[in-house]
C-alpha cells in the first residue's frame, strides 16, 4: 500500500497560492433570485494539467474547455442540481479562474482532488 501521509506536506511545499470563491446560498423574494455573497478562502494547492482519463469523466460538452486538476487541503464543491449548490470557483496565482466540475475527497491523505474547467464569462 502506498503511504499518502506525506502528500499533503508535499503540496504545501511545492504548490502555489490559490483562492476558493464560494457563493453563499441565494434568496428568493417575489419570485426573483438574489445571489448570495461570495466568501474567499486562500490556501496552497497543486495545480496540474488534467490527464485525458480525468477529462473523459466530464460531460461531453465540457471536454474541449481548458481543464486543470487541483489538489487542495480544504473542501471543494461542484454544482448540484438537486440541492441548488453552486460550484466553487478557483482563482489561480496567475489570475485565471476555474469552475470546480468534479471532486474526490482524499481525506486519508489530507486533501481534495478537483477537476476544474476554465470559467466562462467571469
Name the CA radius of gyration of the chain, rounded. 15
DSSP 8-state class, residue 15: -
Q: Distance between CA atoms of 26 and 46, rounded to whole angstroms?
A: 30
DSSP 8-state class, residue 33: E
Flag whether the pTM goes above 0.85: no
Q: Where along the chain do its domains lie?
A: 7-118
Class of domain 7-118: mainly beta
Confidence of residue 12 (pLDDT cuts 50, 70, 90): low
**How would DSSP label each residue in 10-61?**
HHHHH-EEEEEEEEPP-EEETTEEEPPPEEEEEEEEEEEEPPHHHHTTS-GG
Residues 6 or more apart whose Cβ sits within 8 Å of residue 23: 35, 36, 37, 38, 86
Per-residue pLDDT tens over the stretch 65-98:
788 999 988 889 998 878 778 899 999 999 999 9
Amino acid at each position: 500500500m502506498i503511504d499518502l501521509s506525506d502528500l499533503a506536506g508535499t503540496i504545501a511545499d511545492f504548490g502555489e497560492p490559490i483562492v476558493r470563491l464560494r457563493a453563499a446560498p441565494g434568496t428568493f423574494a417575489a419570485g426573483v433570485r438574489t445571489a448570495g455573497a461570495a466568501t474567499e478562502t486562500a490556501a496552497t494547492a497543486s495545480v496540474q494539467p488534467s490527464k485525458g482519463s480525468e477529462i473523459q469523466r466530464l460531460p461531453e460538452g465540457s471536454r474541449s474547455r481548458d481543464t486543470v486538476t487541483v489538489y487542495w487541503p480544504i473542501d471543494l464543491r461542484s454544482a448540484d442540481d438537486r440541492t441548488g449548490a453552486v460550484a466553487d470557483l478557483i482563482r489561480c496565482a496567475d489570475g485565471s479562474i476555474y469552475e470546480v466540475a468534479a471532486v474526490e475527497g482524499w481525506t486519508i491523505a489530507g486533501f481534495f482532488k478537483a477537476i476544474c474547467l476554465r470559467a466562462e464569462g467571469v
